[in-house]
Structure 1
Amino acid sequence: MAFPLTVLLAAYEDLIEKELESEFSSCFDEYDDDSLFSLFHLTRPCLMFVADTMRARLQGVQPNTSHPHLSADALVMVTLNYYAHGISSASLLTKLGLTHTHCPAIIKAKSTVASNIEAVCGIPNVLGILASPHFRVRVSPYDKEDYGTFFSPLGYTAVVSQIICDSDGNILNVEKCEVGSTPEQEMWASSTKGKEIEKDMYGPYWLIGDLLGYCKYILTPVPDPSNESENRFNEAHAKIQGIMWATLSSLMRRFKVLLQLGFAKESSLDQKSNIIKACCVLHNIAKKFSVPSLPVGSEPVYPGKQHSGTLEVSDEALTARQALINRVFSALQMEKILK
C-alpha cells in the first residue's frame, strides 16, 4: 500500500525530532544556530541528522590514524564546512586544533576524482565531466512569448541544465536550468561553477566538455585531428565523455519524470530545476546502495545547443590542450607508458 506523501513527511520529521531529543552532546552544541548556518549553510536539524547518520555508520571503523583525536562529528564539520565555502574556515580549524595543512588528509575529493578519471582515459587533473542535457517540457504554441525561448534546436520545447559527473557516474554538480534555446557556452559563463573555475579557485584542474569556445579550463576534442597524438587524445576524450551520457541515460531511465517535466513558463524554471536536482541526488543515493540500473530503453539524451553565431575559440584553450596532447599523448610519451 502506498502511503500519502504527507504521512511519509510526518514520519520523517518525527524521526528527526527523536534523534534531536537524544541526550548525546556533540561539538555542534558549542555553536548557536546563526553560527552553524554561517559555517555550513545548513540548519541545526539538518546538520544533526547528517552527523547522527555518519556517527552510526562510523561505529566500529578504525579512527583516522593521522588525526585520532578527531570525533566523527569533527570530521563531518570539517567536510561540510569545506563543501559550503570551497575552503576550510580558519576559526573552525583552530577550534578543532587543526590547520589548513591537515585538510588534504581529511578531504581528498578533488585528487580522488582526478586520479580515477586519469585511470580510465589517461587525461590527468580532470575535476569532472561536463554536459548540458535537454529535458522536455510542454509549452503552449499559443503562448508565443514563452514558446520561442523554450523551443530547442532539436525540434521540441525543453529546459537545459548544466551537470558535472565523475568517472563512476556520480553527479557532482547541477546548475539551475534555463530555457531550451540557451547556448551551452552561455550557461557555462553564467554558472556558479564556471565563475569559480574561471577565478582559478580549484587550481591546475580541467573539466572534460563537448563544445568549443569555453576557456582554458575546459578540455574539448580536436575537431580535425591531423596526427596520431591528436587521435589518441580524441579517443580518450570520447571514452570519458561517454560516461556522462551513460549516466544521464541511466538517470532518465530511473526517473521517468525527466522525460517530460510538464508545462513550463520562464517563471517556473526554479520548480523544474528542483525536480532535476532531486533526481540527481536520488541517483547518487541509488549508486551508493548499489541499486541496479533499469534496462536500457529508448529514452533519448540530447546534448546542449551549440552557439548559433560565429564562436571565437580561446587561444589559451587551444594552447593548453595542445600542451597536454604533446605531454601525455605523443608517440614518445606513449612508448614510455607502455614500457
Structure 2
Amino acid sequence: MLLIKVRTYIKRVQIDTSRLAMAALALLEDILNGRIWREQTFRDYNDFLAHDDDWLISRFRFPRAILLELCTELGPNLESETMRSHALPVPLQVLTTLGFLETGSFRRELADRSGISQSCLSCAMPAVWDGIIHLSTRYIMFPYDAGDQPNIKAQFAAIAGFPNVIGAIDCTHIAIRAPSEEEFAYVNRKHFHSINVRIICDAQMRLTNIVARWPGATHDSYILTNSMVGMRLQAGRVRDGWLLGDSGYPLKTWLLTPLTNPQTERERRYNDAHSPTRSVVERAIGQLKCRWRCLDRTGGMLLYRPDKVCRIILACGVLHNVAHRHGITLGEVVALPDDPDPGLVHVQHNQQAIQARQCVIATI
C-alpha cells in the first residue's frame, strides 16, 4: 500500500512539473511575440551629458550644447509611440549612434552605464541615421545660384590664384564586408570591397554634395555623370564657375582637370595652381574619416549591408557639416591610406572644354 502511494505522489509531481514548464514556455513565447512587455529600467542618461565639453567631444565629437540641439531636432522622429512604459530615451539613442560613428564599434561604457544591452542599442541606431539624413537639406547645399558663389570663389582663389572655382571633387572608398549579392561589383582597384563615395566641397572643407550609393568597382567619372549635380552642370545650370577634379575625370566646360604633360611655363603654372586648390577635397575626406572613424579602413570595415552602409556615410556627411557650422575643429588630421586610383579617363575632350581650360591657362 505504501509503495502505491509513493508511485501516485511521484506521478502527481511529474504532472505539476510538466504543467509548470509548459506555463514558463508560454510566458516566454508571449514576451518574444510582444504580447507581454518586459519592463526595462534605464539608468539616468544625463550623467553622460554632465561631463565637460572636452570629454564629450572626445567620445561623441560634439560639446553638450550641440548634443542637446541634435536631440531636440531628432526627438520628434525618435520618440516611440508605443505601449512601453520605458521607451529608450532620445539622448541615449543619439549618444549611442554618435559613439558608434566616432569609433566604428560600440562603447562598452555606454551599455554598462545606461543598463542597456548592446543589441538594444544597435536596434536604435538606424532611426537616428535616418533622422540625421533628413537634416541634409539644411546642412549640405550645392552653390548653383550666382548669389551663393562669390564667397566660395574668393576663398578658392585665395589658395593659389585659381579663378571661378565653385567646388573641388573627388571620390573615396569606404570598406565593407563582402555582400551576399553582386559581390564582384563591390571589389575596387585595390581588391577590397567598398562603397565608392563622391564628395564635392568648398574651400573651407564643408561638403556641398555627397553621393553614397555606388559599388566600389564603379569608376569615379561614371558616378559624376549619373549624379544630379553632374547632369545639372552638363545642362548649363551654372554659367560662370567650375569644379576642379583630378585626371580620373573627363575635361568639361564645367570641370577642369590638370594637364597630363604641360609644355609651357603657363601650363606648368596652371598645374601648380590646380593641384593645391583641388587638394582641399582630399583634406575634407581626411577630416570626414578622422572625425567619424567608422569610415576609416584602418578601423576595420563596416559589417552591414551596402544599403545600411550608404545611410551611415550620408549621416556622417551631414554631421561633418554640423561640426563645421559650429566651428568644432579636429586636432591634426593624420594621413590616411590612399584610395584606389580610378585610372586615367581616355576620352576625346570636346573643343569647348579645351578652350575653357586654355582661357584659364592664359590668366594664371
TM-score, normalised on structure 1? 0.62
Partner of 1:306: 343
Partner of 2:290: 253
Q: CA RMSD in A?
A: 3.4
Q: Deviations over 1:254-289 (max 9, x none)?
A: 101112552455xx33x3222222112211221222
Q: How far is the alpha carbon of 1:294 from its aligned partner?
A: 3.5
Secondary structure of 1:116 counterpart = helix
| Aligned residue type for 1:194 | G
| Aligned residue type for 2:150 | S
Distance 1:14 1:287 in 2: 19
Q: Does 1:208 align with 2:244?
A: yes
CA contact (8 A) 2:153 2:165 kept: yes
Structural mapping, 1:22-33, within 5 Å: none
Partner of 2:165: 126
Partner of 2:321: 284
Partner of 1:228: 265
| Aligned residue type for 2:292 | F
Q: How far is the alpha carbon of 1:10 from its aligned partner?
A: 11
Which one of the candidate residues 32, 47, 72 is aligned to 1:12? 72
Structural mapping, 1:261-280, within 5 Å: 262-263=302-303, 265=305, 268-269=306-307, 271-280=308-317
Cα distance, 1:14–1:289 mapped onto 2, change above 3 Å: closer
When structure 1 is superposed on structure 2, of 171-180 and 209-218 the one drifting more is: 209-218
Q: How far is the alpha carbon of 1:183 from its aligned partner?
A: 0.6
Distance 1:300 1:250 in 2: 13
Distance 1:12 1:304 in 2: 42
Cα distance, 1:232–1:321 mapped onto 2, change above 3 Å: same
CA contact (8 A) 2:205 2:284 kept: yes
Q: Does 1:197 align with 2:233?
A: yes
Q: Deviations over 1:19-38 (max 9, x none)?
A: xxxxxxxxxxxxxxxxxxxx
When structure 1 is superposed on structure 2, of 237-246 and 280-289 the one drifting more is: 280-289
Distance 1:14 1:150 in 2: 32
Equivalent pairs counted in the alignment come to: 239
CA contact (8 A) 1:157 1:180 kept: yes
Q: Deviations over 1:1-27 (max 9, x none)?
A: 559xxxx8996379769xxxxxxxxxx
TM-score, normalised on structure 2? 0.58
Partner of 1:218: 255
Decide which structure has the larger Cα Rg and report it. 2
Cα distance, 1:146–1:216 mapped onto 2, change above 3 Å: same
Distance 2:255 2:189 in 1: 23
5+ residue gaps, structure 1: 18-45, 51-78, 88-103, 330-339
Cα distance, 1:238–1:307 mapped onto 2, change above 3 Å: closer
CA contact (8 A) 1:175 1:192 kept: no
Distance 1:135 1:217 in 2: 27
Q: How far is the alpha carbon of 1:159 from its aligned partner?
A: 0.7
Distance 1:10 1:164 in 2: 24
* Aligned-pair identity (%): 23
| Aligned residue type for 1:245 | E
Secondary structure of 2:200 counterpart = strand
5+ residue gaps, structure 2: 1-46, 50-67, 78-130
Cα distance, 1:16–1:181 mapped onto 2, change above 3 Å: closer
